[in-house]
Amino acid sequence: MSTETPAWQADIDATAAASLAAIAAAQDLATLREVEVAALGRKGSVTALTKRTGQLDKSERRAYGAASGGLRKQVQQAIAARRDAIRQATVDAELADLSFDETLPGTEPAGGHVHPLSRVQLELEEVFTSMGFAVLDYPEIESEFDNFEALNIPGWHPARDMQDTFWLESGHLLRTHTSAGQVRAMHQLEPPFRAIFPGKVYRYESTDASHEHTFHQLEGLMIDRHVSVGHLLDSMRTLLSAIFRRDVQVRLRPGYFPFVEPGFELDISCQVCGGPGCSVCKHTGWVELLPCGLVHPNVLRAGGLDPDEWQGWAFGLGLSRLVMMRYGVSDIRLLLGGDARFVEGFHAGA
C-alpha cells in the first residue's frame, strides 16, 4: 500500500482551511449563512469537491469519498458551533448593555376571573345546598324521550312548538330545557329527595335582547310524600332574596306546561329599567323568570314513582335572565358573545 500523499489531499486541505477561516471570521448570523452557502450550497466549494469523486481512478475513490465526506462534516460542525457562539454573544451583549435593567417589573399578564353566569350559578348552588338540595349534572345531548316524552309531551303535542329543537343526525337532540333531567333524577335518587341541575340549553330560535339560542337554566326538583305550592313559593322567595339581596317584586300567573299541574309563571319586576319598560322586559316592566308547578303524575310514573305515594314540585329558572337582572345587563347576547371587554366589567366583588 502506498504511503504517498494523494494529489487531491492538497485541495481538501486548502478548502478546509479557507472554509474554517471564513467561519471563524463571521461576526453575525447573516454572514455565517453566506459562508455556509459558499461552502455547502449546491455550487459551494465543499460540494464541488464531493462531486469530483467520479473523475478519480477507481482505486482512489474510496479514500477520496471518506476525505471529502469528512470535510463536509467538519465544516457543518464548525458552522453549528459558530452559530451558537454568535447567538450567545448577542445575549451577552444585551445583558452587558447598561440600559437593560433586569430588576424592572415585567408586563403583568391579564388575570382571569369567574364569568358572571358561573358566579350566579355557584351562589345559587350554595343557597340550595344549604337547604338540603343535591347538585346534579346531566348531559346536554339528550334523548327525545327524556327531553319530551317522559315529560308528558308526546310527538303530536302542540307544546313541542314552544321549544324549537336542534336535532342531531343520530336522532338525539340538544336539550331544550333542564327539565330533561327530571326523570333521570327520579331514577338516580331514592325518594324523598331534593335536587337542582343547572346547565346550558339550546333552542332553534331567533335572538333578541332577551332571547338567545344557547342559554342557561337551573332546574329544581323536590319529591316527597306531601309537597305543596306553599313550599314551592317559599323556596322561590328564599332564592330570589339571596340573589338580589333586596326586595324584588314578584308576581305569579297561571302557566301551562304539560309536565306540571297546576303550573305557574313567576315574573320579577324588571331590574334593568326598574319598571317603566325597556327592550329587555318588552316594555311591560316584568320579566318572565321562573316557571314552576307540581309534578304531573305521568312524569312521576315515567320516573318509576307511584303518584299515589309520591308528589313533587319543580321549577325551571332562566339563569341567563337572572344574571341580566342581577347585573343590569341590557342584552342577553352579551353573556356568551365572547367579547372579553364585557366580561372584564365583572370583578370578584360585583
Can you give the binding site for ligand FA5, defined by CB under 6 A? 163, 177, 179, 203, 205, 211-212, 215, 217, 257, 260, 263, 288-293, 314-316, 318, 320-321, 332
CB of 171 to ligand FA5, least distance (A): 21
Write out the H or E segment, with its range, that includes residue 197: strand 193-202
Torsion of CA 5, 8, 14, 16, to 10 degrees: -90
Q: Which is nearer to ligand FA5, 88 or 118 (CB)?
A: 118
Closest by CA position to 137, among listed 86, 74, 181: 181
Shortest distance, CB of residue 104 to ligand FA5, whole angstroms? Answer: 48
Smallest gap from Cβ 241 to ligand FA5, in A, equals 18
CB closer to ligand FA5, 68 vs 152: 152
Nearer Cβ to ligand FA5 (39/117):
117
| Residue closest to ligand FA5 (Cβ) | 318
Is residue 144 within 8 A of residue 173, CB to CB? The reply is yes
Residue matched to cell numbers 342581577:
326
Shortest Cβ 210–ligand FA5 spacing (Å) = 6
Least distance CB 201 / ligand FA5 (angstroms):
7
Nearest CA to 306 out of 227, 229, 225 is that of: 225
DSSP string of 245-305, one letter each residue: SS---EEEEE---TTEEEEEEEEEE-TTTSSS--TTTTTSSEEEEEEEEEEPHHHHHHTT-
Estimate to the nearest angstrom the gap between the alpha carbon of 12 and the chain centroid. Answer: 61
Closest CB to ligand FA5 among residues 290, 343 = 290
Nearer Cβ to ligand FA5 (20/280): 280
